[in-house]
Chains A and B, each alone.
Chain A
Amino acid sequence: MSKLPLEGIRVVELTTGAAGPTVARVLCEFGAEVIRCETRLRGDGHRGEDPALWNKKPDFMKLQRGKKSFTVNMQTPKGRELVKELVKKSDVVVENFGLGILEKWGLDYPQLKEINPGCILIRVKGMGCTGPHAADLTYGPNVGNTMGTTYLWNYAGATTATAEPRTQHPDFMGGVTGAFAVVLALIQRRETKRGQWIDSAQVEIGASLLGPKYLEYSVNKREPRPEGNRSLIAAPYGPYRCAGEDRWCVIAIYDQDEWKRFAALVEQSGVKRDEKFATHLGRVRHREELDVWVTTWTRARDPYDVMETLQGIGVCAAVVQDVEDQFERDRQYAATGFLVKLNEPEAGEVVTEGVPIRLSVTPGKVRGVAPLMGEHTREIARDLLGLSDREIATLEEEKVLY
């Protein structure tokens, strides 16, 4: 088994929520040792408020698998000193508390640089670390409100404010982007021998995918409106209703060859096509009628039949899967072993998503279960901070290692 590529890199994680933990989780999968600092004074959003459930939350397992838990009370001067000692021995600090907290702890970049000039600090914030709204309280799902996603994620001509789900790509894409940035800073550090800090605004990472929408505003001086499932470059396009309750299959046809194969297949089953669908222009112009025509074929069929049949003739088709489908009917996940089982000591079996990229020489992996609250406190205090058992016991008593 070859060495993981980030082996030897130590990450101190000072986080709550999802975006910060995701930065460290991704680094962990490629070999970094991640020490998550947390406290028994209060479980973070994903451990939850109830201490009885701290070690039993599947969402926490997804975010924290493979890391170590070091319980330390940052409200005490001694606790802050211990974390500074940890930082001195680390390569990366990941932080995503509200603006001002790191400053108060003496760990913002000007102070951290004094402790460890080679250290890389990434500060993950909803709105970034500068600007009049830097201190905003944000969570993954409401970052999308500010940047236009919520407004645009709607049916054409919709009357309600939003039809979006509680999807939070600024959290998860933000986390992976943050990990990308940290590795770039590590690459550069090999040359310069110096660290730096990274201001990672979730709103900017999420918004960077909406670039063409902003250009529509800045170039065409026009406010982009919600478009629903419409497309001008593909027709048929969108989710089509299939047999069963709330079952759908996405179909997208981009060129004339795909159309001919598709139309011939549908006609074989006795559904005559209209001549006005013969060209792409005709299909786009008459898209409502086209959708009705396609649906006469799809609605009698299981969505997986639709997908497999159309993929068999080289047409893009994909079942609108729910989470049960992902477990039970997704042949691809099953074949690649993408869903990974963790045997958590208190929670039992928890299934999470695996590593979605495969590096041929230095593959990453899910490195283990999520840590119990404080599971590694003594080990880290002893081995890394060089404290004696007596000192550790005293610090635990004083609720510093807590």
Chain B
Amino acid sequence: MPDIDPTSPPLTGYRVLDLGGPLGFHCTKLLADMGADVVKIERPGGDEARRIPPFKDDLPHPETSLYFLHFHTNKRGVTLDIESPEGRAIFLELACNADVVLETFQPGRLDELGIGYENLRRQHPGLVYASITPFGQSGPWRDYKANDMAGLALGNLLYLAGEPGEPPLQPPGEIAYGMASTYGAFGIAVALYHRLESGQGQFIDVSMHECAAHIAGYFIPNYGYTGAKPARASRKGEETDLYDPYPTKNGYARIFIIPVEQWRRLVEWMGRPPSISGAEFEKMAYRRKHPDIVVGAIAEFCRRHTKEELYEEGQKRRIAVTPINTAGEFITSEQVKARGTFVEMEHPVIGHYAHFGPVPRFSESPGRITRTAPLVGQHNSEIYCGELGMSKEDLVALRASGVI
């Protein structure tokens, strides 16, 4: 039930049952960081994601996956075989006390097991039930398999990434999963808002394939309008664009100019090189037509500075300069330190780690990181005995028969 303390995170008191795989990890992480009590249901022995690298010290073990750690910090965990009859009964009981169920199974799979939305809503009409799947619950591809890269491929993100002639290149960070998860969390929030008034739950169908299309900028509206069909951009000759990073004394920096004032400030900062100081260069279209001159002059300037110097001085002069940072440079940057983006955490097996904190930030009821990722079955007794009233002996029997 919703908490009335105005400083508690907004989802305090909401219970989420998490049957999600990687497609839904970021979704329930968003809910957990905003205060929801997320209970992850893992198959006996542990979730498959515990096998995903990287691992602490590169040694694979169910408790050392840093991938699992990132997405499950702040969640509780129980083991349960939902394919067994006892497991299904236990799941139904848990669902009665939940506000939200999130799952990423193939469409129809949980219905076959008797724990799909139609089964659950009969006993719990207020339940919000979200399914995030590769292609959604309908259409000719609904039963097809797709991972993050497949989502990006069909969404026209992969085609544009990489060098011409080379294979398209996947981004880091599972962006298609991330977008599907984010839309899922938004849908859940809307459904919970609606439920406040109506008391009614509902089913939310999220298609990664459609979510991925929303990431790719403006290619869809532009193609429909002008027929423009971009390909992977070449760095040589005509197509070279002004946004490519420039080599500096110690790595790369990028200078991204849109408004003319920024261009003027840049030229001023560079000491007005004659080759680009003409008034004609104030038009972006003209600059685009003469990339060799523009890029040549800026590159010459950037080579004489470090990326940090360019970043600090450029931003001071109100020019959109950014350094190309590594992950470590980002973590240790002044901005990240000042904002406390990372939270110091301790895990019984992995040890000390810096965890990515809750985003975005609420002024009155900020999100919180309250616990590290669960060990396999860590909260079995807390939930099965503490909440469902089972005895310790029941736990032993369920363990022996492989249900938990």
Interface set of A (CB-CB < 8 Å, partner B) = 5-6, 26, 30, 45, 58-59, 61-62, 109, 122, 127-128, 130-139, 141-143, 145-155, 160-169, 172-173, 176-181, 183-188, 190-192, 194, 196-201, 204-220, 223-224, 226-229, 232-234, 237-239, 241, 246, 248-250, 252, 311, 314-327, 330-333, 335-336, 338-339, 347, 349-354, 356-362, 364
Contacts and interface: CB of A to CB of B under 8 A. Distances in A.
Contacts of A228: 169-170
Given A128-B339, A161-B252, A180 B244 contact: no
25 contacts: A62-B218, A136-B320, A145-B254, A161-B244, A161-B324, A163-B166, A165-B161, A176-B186, A207-B330, A208-B359, A213-B327, A217-B327, A218-B353, A234-B147, A250-B150, A318-B154, A320-B159, A323-B223, A352-B224, A356-B206, A356-B211, A358-B136, A358-B205, A359-B187, A359-B203
Given A223-B328, A319-B154, A356-B213, A361 B194 contact: yes
A169 B221 contact: no
Contact of B150 (A45, A145, A233, A316): A316
A322 B161 contact: no
Nearest to A186: B193
Contact of A219 (B147, B207, B214, B350): B350
Contact of A161 (B139, B178, B247): B247
B39 interface: no
A207 B358 CA distance: 11
B222 to A, nearest CB: 5
B305 interface: no
Contacts of A184: 10-11, 34, 189, 362
B146 A220 contact: no
Given A154-B169, A168-B217, A319-B153, 9 more contacts: A149-B172, A163-B161, A173-B175, A173-B179, A192-B6, A207-B341, A316-B150, A351-B225, A359-B205
A186 B179 CA distance: 22
Contacts of B67: 212
Contacts of A233: 51-53
Query: For chain A, what secondary structure do more than half of its interface residues adopt (helix, strand, loop), or is it mixed?
Result: mixed
Interface stretch (B229-237, B288-296, B380-388, B391-399): B229-237
A136 to B, nearest CB: 5
A163 to B, nearest CB: 5
Contacts of A166: 160, 217, 233, 241, 243
B22 to A, nearest CB: 11
A220 B213 contact: no
Contact of A211 (B71, B135, B146, B225): B71
Q: Which of the four size classes fits the interface of chain B?
A: 35 or more
Contact of B232 (A165, A188, A229, A339): A165
A30 B167 CA distance: 39
Interface stretch (B54-62, B90-98, B108-116): B54-62
Nearest to B235: A160
Contacts of B147: 234, 252, 316
Given A335-B138, A361-B202, A187 B232 contact: no
Contacts of A62: 218, 220-221
A47 to B, nearest CB: 13
Nearest to B172: A152
Nearest to A3: B194
Contacts of A204: 339, 341, 359-360
Contacts of A223: 326-328
B343 to A, nearest CB: 11
Nearest to B228: A323
Contact of B190 (A146, A183, A356): A183
Contacts of A131: 334-336, 338-339
A163 B320 contact: no
Given A132-B335, A209-B175, A211-B70, A324 B210 contact: no
